[in-house]
Each structure stands twice: as C-alpha cells, then as structure tokens.
Structure 1
Amino acid sequence: MESTYTFSFLTARDMPELHQVFLEAFNDYFVPIQLTEEQFKTKLKRESIDPAFCVAAFEGSTIVGFILTGLGEFNGKPTAYNAGTGVLPDHRGHQLTRRMYAYLLPKLRESGVEQCLLEVIQENEPAIKSYQATGFSTTRALDCFRATKDELLLYGDEPEDVAILPVTRPDWNTYQHFWDVEPTWQNTAAAIRNTPDEKIILEARDASQELAGYIVFLPKNGAILQFAVTPDKRGRGIGKALLKQAMQQIIAPALLLINVDAAAVDFKTFLRRRHFNRFLGQYEMLMPLV
C-alpha cells in the first residue's frame, strides 16, 4: 500500500528527534555522517539553522524525511541554505525532496528570501537530478582536502620579518581583500562568529605591522575555515608559517579544508605541495526565488 505523507515545519522541541532521524538518514550516505548531540547542536548554530523553516515529511507521527534550513545572507542576498536533506531508506523513491521543497518555497518567498543554496557530493547523481528538477543549477565545483600532522610538509626557514600572533578582533573587511574566491556558507564570517566551538585566528604581520595573511581554524577538530595571504606577499613562506603555527595549536590528528573553490588553482597547488590530499568533491548549487 502506498504510504501517505504529510509535511510540516518544525520547532526547537523537535530537534532531539530530528537528530536521531539525521543519524539514520545519513548512516548509508556516500560519506557516512554521524554527529553526536553536541556536534548536531553546533551545526545548528554555525549554519544558522532556524527550526521554523526546517520542513519534515511525516508518515503518521514519525519523521521520515527533512530539510535543515539555515537563514542568512550569501553574496549580498537573503538566502536559505540547505544544511542537510535526509530521507530514511525505506521512504526513498517517493520524490520527498521535491515535495518538501514545494512545501517550503512559499514560506521562503513570503519571508523575503531571494535564493536557495546547497552543496551536494559530486557522485550523488540521484540527489543532483532531484535538485535540478526542483530548480537548482550548479554554480561552482568544490574540493575537500585533508592531511594528517605527520604527512604535512612544512620544512624550511620561516620569514624573518613576519610575526604571527593570535587576534581576538578579526578584521573581516580587510581579510576579504586577500581572497581569490568567496568562502562557502559554512566558512563565512557569519558562520565563524556563530559557531560555539573554540576558534583561533592568527594574523601574520610584517616589520611595518602591515597585515600579510591570516588563518582561522577550530583546534578541536582541525578544520581550517579561512586561510589567505595578500597577493603581493605570496611566495615568501608566510602561508607555510601560518599553517605551521596552526598545526601546533590543533588538537585533532589531521587538518581539514572543506569546500575549497575548485577555481582557486594557486591555493590548491599550495595545499598539494604541503601534502594535503583531496578526498571529496562537491557542487555548490543555487536556485533564485525572485
């Protein structure tokens, strides 16, 4: 007998149940994702997830599918970010993703949201086709890199005229002038400010105290969220020195860079020379609502 599904928005009280559904839905994913309760709560905060805009598919009173929705700005436009779409294995094949978006989109438009954003693993063809059918199109390719501490190649002299020090007041406006590409949703300044995890920001300054580069990372899990050197000071060992200082303060056994724009060719070359390995590719997809 064909299942009958209903759809509804969630509340903060639903988040513990949704965590359990999340674990089950992503247990057999291309890259299995298993978050502890604390990690799930951190995800909700870091990615600006609003329960009132999270839609769930129900069979009876049981959640069998969901879209986690974060709200904020991306490239200057009010944006709804899909922080995770999950459907329990027994309920796949019923176009629940498209049906949940059909339920969600009117509320987003009424709330002034101008675009929807998400990332999807490049090999996940069923999900890509579903998102394309919903109205999404690919905006860029993304690469994910990892290196264990003992793999990192950071030998060589550090620049003598550069000091690397922690800062508590990051200068986001200046940092963005160092970028070759824009960060993805989870790595924006807003996401970094929102995350409850300990974060460390190191700046490199030359002898005249001019800012030459910076790195933002989470010492507990080794994630590097932003990392850049001003274009006119590259090739002098500043990036390597920043990375070395970060490695010494990271507790995790490996360093991660998630969702590096594939167009950042020079930066990816730098990472490979340091012995970072690409372990996953994603597509960023966007759907305009206006």
Structure 2
Amino acid sequence: MEPLEANSIEIRRLADCTFRQAVELWNLGFSGYYSDMSVTLEQFVTRLGRESIRPDLSVAAFAGEEPAGFVLVAKKTVDGVGIVWNGGTGVSPSQRGKGLAKLLMREAVEAMRESGASTGLLEVVQKNAGAIAAYESAGFRIRDGLIGAKRSGTLAGALSADLAAAPYPIGRAKPKHIAKLPFFRKETAWSPAWFNNPDADGIILFDQNGAVGAYAIVRRTYADSGKLTGITLLQCSADPARADRKELLHAALAAAFGPFEEDCVRLTDNVSMADDALVEWLDKAGFETVYTQYLMTVELKG
C-alpha cells in the first residue's frame, strides 16, 4: 500500500464524533481481527462505561469523511495516581500498512500526557508484531507476559497431593487491602486490576507465624439457583523473598480454584506469567491456553 499522507488524515477526539461514527470506527478497525469484535451501538456505549473509556482522551482518524482508525483511552485515579489504558486500537482495512497506527498511537500518548496520568498501559496479542511495533514507536515497552487459560469440569483428581494441598492457614480480604501488601504485584493488566474488581474475592495465605505469604484475587459467578458456574483468576502471587514461595503460590491457586469437586468453568484473565510456578500449576491442572498477550507500559512523567 501507499504510505500515509499526513495531510490526508484528520485526527479528532472521539468526543467530537457522533455515536454512529464511533461504532463504525470500531467495527471497521477490528474488521478481520483474530475473533469477531463487531458491536452494536448499545454494546459500544456499554463498553465505554464498563471500561472507563474517556471520549475526550480517545483519538479518531478520518480520511475525508471515511473512518480510518482509532485509539480508545481509559483513565482512573488510584491512590492519587493517574493510570491510563489503551482500551482498543483499530485501523480500517483500506488504511492498513500505511503507518496510521503509529500516528494514532503518538496522538494517543500525547492525550494521555495531557490527562496528567503517570503511567499508560495496554495489552497486545503476542503474535501481533505490527501492533507491537506501533506501540513501541510511541514509547511503550514490553513488561510482562499474560495468559488466558481455561478448564471446564471438576478439578477433583486432576492434581497430585502436593499441588492440591493447602497446608497454610487461609484468610479473606478485600482486594483494596490485598493491594497494600509489600509484595503485591502493582504492574498488571487492566481488566484484572484490583481497582476494577473491588467486589472480587480476596484470598490470603499465612505462615505458621501469622505472616502473609501469598494472595489471590478471584471472581466467582453463580446461576440463579446458587450453583457455582465459574471461577476467574485475576491475580495471584507469593512473596518472592520466601524459600517456600512455590509452595505458597500453589496453595493459593488451589484455594482460588476450589472446591475441586465443583463442576464449573475455570479461567484466568490476563494473569501474569512472570512466575513459572503459576504456569506449571495451570499446566498440571489441565488448563488449556486460550491466548497469550504482552503487558506494555509507558511512563508519561519525568
């Protein structure tokens, strides 16, 4: 394709677009993606609210009157610190391969800086080399690997005794309190972040002296009858300074995905792959990898 002519592209903020234009931008931008991402107007508006998307920070590109591409930007303030997130980048098929994604990302990062946020983050499919290059051109850097995994049915009998046992006392805590732990993993994907899941179940594991050695945050779903239908792991980590770190992590995972005899769907949502012990446990428990992504971040201040 021919290279992009900057003067042929008009950059706007999404707030200056009509709803119809915004939906058309999304559907064209994700046309031919790995999975069907098309939405209706109602679904798009719901997504904006659910994911804290800011139309005044999001950018859109038009070639004449034709939608060309977009970057959605969300923002939240957590403990007084602004965090922004790229909630979706898309380029119309007719504009792909011309460098528009890089132009959009530079504009989006400027909008992120204008917002006063300290850090920007995004997730990208690991095999999407073109998108990774566009994000890197705007200053983003790969920080972690993320996994989405799934297992249906019961877990009873799927794990050896050492992986299924939980020899540590287990307690409960709100995600906001778990986030204060000294070894809490603060650098995380957007959807499983504790501040986006304030009502999730927080699990903490203690050693025999009462010190917290590991934690997990999970979201459970139930049918109208009260039956457990799903468990989604959002975060799980153990104190890296401990000699029994691996055992603590495995015990936390066992507590998170229990009771094992429950017949339900068990998932991970963009969980960090930084700890090999976590991936090992999922593999031995029979989870299948649905996707792998990278967590990328950019510092917006300093």
| TM-score normalized by the length of structure 1 | 0.74
CA–CA separation in structure 2 for the residues paired with 1:139 and 1:205: 27
| Percent sequence identity over aligned pairs | 25
Match of 1:262 among 273, 277, 281: 273
- Tell me the residue number matched to 1:225: 234
| Residue ranges of structure 1 left out of the alignment (5+ in a row) | 194-198
Match of 1:64 among 50, 65, 68: 68
- Tell me the residue number matched to 2:196: 191
CA–CA separation in structure 1 for the residues paired with 2:112 and 2:187: 24
- Tell me the residue number matched to 1:28: 32
Instruction: Report if the CA contact (8 A) 2:233-2:271 is conserved.
Output: no
- 1:239 matched to 2:253: yes
- 1:275 matched to 2:277: no
Instruction: Report if the CA contact (8 A) 1:163-1:205 is conserved.
Output: yes
- Tell me the residue number matched to 2:90: 86
- Tell me the residue number matched to 2:225: none
CA–CA separation in structure 2 for the residues paired with 1:57 and 1:236: 47
Instruction: Report if the CA contact (8 A) 1:204-1:242 is conserved.
Output: no
CA–CA separation in structure 1 for the residues paired with 2:261 and 2:84: 34
SS, match of residue 191 in structure 2: helix
The 5 A counterparts of 1:208-223 are 213-219=215-221, 223=232
Instruction: Report if the CA contact (8 A) 1:97-1:130 is conserved.
Output: yes
Q: 1:20 to 1:283 in 2, by over 3 A?
A: same
Instruction: Report if the CA contact (8 A) 1:48-1:191 is conserved.
Output: no
Shift of 1:100: 1.9
Instruction: Report if the CA contact (8 A) 1:74-1:185 is conserved.
Output: no
In structure 2, give the amino acid aligned to 1:225. L
- Tell me the residue number matched to 2:201: 201
Residues 61-114 of structure 1: per-residue CA shift (max 9 Å, x gap): 443311010113589853321111011212212322222233334443333233
CA–CA separation in structure 1 for the residues paired with 2:144 and 2:33: 22
Instruction: Report if the CA contact (8 A) 1:48-1:72 is conserved.
Output: yes
Residues 94-144 of structure 1: per-residue CA shift (max 9 Å, x gap): 322222233334443333233332221111111112222222222222232
CA–CA separation in structure 2 for the residues paired with 1:151 and 1:246: 5
Match of 1:10 among 4, 11, 14: 14
CA–CA separation in structure 1 for the residues paired with 2:200 and 2:17: 32
Shift of 1:276: 1.3
The 5 A counterparts of 1:79-228 are 79-149=83-153, 153=158, 169-173=174-178, 176-177=181-182, 179=184, 182-193=187-198, 200-201=200-201, 203=203, 213-219=215-221, 223-227=232-236
Instruction: Report if the CA contact (8 A) 1:215-1:228 is conserved.
Output: no
Instruction: Report if the CA contact (8 A) 1:46-1:192 is conserved.
Output: no
Shift of 1:9: 0.6
- Tell me the residue number matched to 2:298: 287
Q: 1:20 to 1:202 in 2, by over 3 A?
A: same
The 5 A counterparts of 1:243-254 are 243-245=257-259, 248=262, 254=265
SS, match of residue 58 in structure 1: strand
Residues 29-70 of structure 1: per-residue CA shift (max 9 Å, x gap): 234435676665554344321111111112334433110101
Residues 194-228 of structure 1: per-residue CA shift (max 9 Å, x gap): xxxxx64164678x9x7775442152775322345
In structure 1, give the amino acid aligned to 2:72. L
CA–CA separation in structure 1 for the residues paired with 2:62 and 2:287: 42
Match of 2:57 among 53, 57, 67: 53
